[in-house]
Amino acid sequence: MTVVTPHPDPVAPAPGVRPAPAARRRISLPGRDLLGVVPFFGFIVLFLAIPTLVVVIGAFTGDGGGFTLDNVSALGTSYILEAFGRSILLSAVTAAIGAVLGGLLAYALVTAKPDGVLRRVVTSASGVLAQFGGVTLAFAFVATIGLSGFVTVFLRDHLGVDIYAHGVWLFELPGLLLVYTYFQVPLMVIVFLPALDGIRPQWREAAESLGGSTWQYWRMVAMPLLAPPFLGSALLLFANAFSAYATAASLVSQGSPIIPLQIRGALTSEVILGQQNLGKAMALGMIVVVALVMWLYAVLQRRSTRWLG
């Protein structure tokens, strides 16, 4: 009776032959490889994880050191809620404006030569303006449309229009609206352009060969495909505006209309010690909002990468 091997193994010796010792497979120790990433993880723990924990734990720490919900519930105070409200309004409006204008500009770029001068110049300029510090921007706008700015003076002297007749709005929320748009539009261009690049020319050609007009192509193919990345990019713009600090810190010297400035107040306040933890609660609130927005963004990104590569 032949020896029956339960799992036929192509390299098993024929029955009756003394099996040669099987080659010993070296099981790679994950331990040694992990050593390679220790510096990175150590750094992350020290400068990212710990600060985050400080914020999260601090938000629930009372003045005496015990656990408390006072700080978090204090977020419901009217002036803080209003600050949150203004932050959200500012972010939403500038995100919307930035998304529309930036989207149009990105579309204009994608119709140009991919390696041409126009696209490269505008993309580089967008990279700079999207990233660059709020202080610079604040000063630029003061020089442009501040009390003695270029445009202000021009309008006053040549058109008799005094834009500050009803108050100096540049250093308040309306001013922030204008200035934020300046970096939201370029950010939209950077974030949305890859999605536009993912629109394959074959789709338009297929739609047209099937009898579709330009409008039908846009309505039935391009817009549904671009909707997720467009919304995702708008969400990114929202998160960006919500998190912004430097511009507001430079422009606004009186009061703290938005949350980041409230946090500044809490941090630099030497008056009440407990303000520190309130600041952490506000920071936690910010994390929650931004995390929510970024999560939605990630969900939309997945869909758009699946369709547009």
Site for another protein in 229-248 (CB under 8 A): 239, 242-246
Residue in 136, 112, 132 with CA at minimum distance from that of residue 122: 112
Options 13-21, 67-75, 160-168, 280-288: segment touching another protein (CB under 8 A):
280-288
Query: Which residue among 31, 209, 254, 273 contacts another protein (CB under 8 A)?
Result: 209
Query: Which residue among 83, 95, 122, 187 contacts another protein (CB under 8 A)?
Result: 122
Q: What sign does the dihedral 303-307-308-309 (CA atoms) show?
A: positive
- By CB under 8 A, the residues from 144 to 173 that bind another protein are 144-145, 149-151
Residue in 219, 188, 200 with CA at minimum distance from that of residue 106: 188
- Residue 78: CB minimum distance to another protein, A: 22
- Looking at the Cβ atoms of 210 and 271, the one nearer to another protein is 210
Tell me the C-alpha distance between 133 and 118, whole Å: 25
SS3 (DSSP) at 67: strand
Per the CB < 8 A criterion, the answer to whether 181 and 93 are in contact is no
- By CB under 8 A, the residues from 6 to 45 that bind another protein are 30, 33-34, 36-37, 39-40, 43-44
264 binds another protein (CB under 8 A): yes
Tokens for 25? 């497979």
Options 1-9, 90-98, 159-167, 208-216: segment touching another protein (CB under 8 A):
208-216
Query: Which residue among 161, 162, 200, 299 contacts another protein (CB under 8 A)?
Result: 200
Number of H helices, E strands in the chain: 15, 0
Residue in 243, 248, 247 with CA at minimum distance from that of residue 291: 243
Beta bridge partners of 61: 67
**Interface pattern 282-301 for another protein (x via CB under 8 A):** -x--xx--xx--x-------
- Looking at the Cβ atoms of 93 and 280, the one nearer to another protein is 280
Where do we find the tokens 């020896």?
Answer: 3
Query: Which residue among 69, 77, 203, 299 contacts another protein (CB under 8 A)?
Result: 203
- Looking at the Cβ atoms of 134 and 232, the one nearer to another protein is 134
Tell me the C-alpha distance between 98 and 104, whole Å: 10
CA dihedral 265, 270, 273, 276 (to 10 degrees): 30
- Looking at the Cβ atoms of 101 and 173, the one nearer to another protein is 101
- By CB under 8 A, the residues from 60 to 99 that bind another protein are none
Query: Which residue among 14, 210, 271, 273 contacts another protein (CB under 8 A)?
Result: 210
Per the CB < 8 A criterion, the answer to whether 59 and 277 are in contact is yes
